[in-house]
Amino acid sequence: MASKYTSADSPGAFGREAADRVREATDEGRTMVAERLDSAASTIEDRAGDLPGGSRVKEFAQAAADRLGTTADYMRSHDAKRMMADVETVVRNNPGPALLVAAALGFLIGRAVVRN
């Protein structure tokens, strides 16, 4: 008796198709996210001098702006597949902090969903 599923309908094919869709959506959104990160970096740089707290706060704001700019450059120069590989490497090398970040993100997402 023939199976009612084709190889394209197998659970593995479904998972690969979903992963491909996520990669495509990520690649399409990379440029927009990079532009927004650059915009946020510029805004922080422009307003850093107006922040209360003296030179230490200004240095912190400048470092944050530099980091946002670096992240924007990274997003422009790497595709979704490469970014996922980099995330996997960071998680493998730092499992404890990765679990803490995942838990914090899960908590924040849960709070956002419950409120809405």
43-76: pLDDT as tens digits? 998 888 888 888 888 899 999 999 999 999 999 9
Q: What is the pLDDT of residue 93?
A: 96
Across the 116 residues of the chain, what is the mean pLDDT of every consecutive 10-residue run?
A: 49 77 79 90 88 87 93 90 90 94 90 79
Cα 51 vs. chain centroid, distance in angstroms?
A: 28
**29 domain-assigned:** yes
Q: What is the pLDDT of residue 49?
A: 81
Tell me which residue range forms the domain holding 106: 80-116
- Domain total in the chain: 2
**3 domain-assigned:** no
In a shared domain, residues 72 and 84: no
Read off the amino acid at residue 64.
Answer: A
Q: What is the pLDDT of residue 7?
A: 47
CA distance 98 to 93: 9
In a shared domain, residues 25 and 70: yes
Q: What is the pLDDT of residue 11?
A: 60
In a shared domain, residues 19 and 65: yes
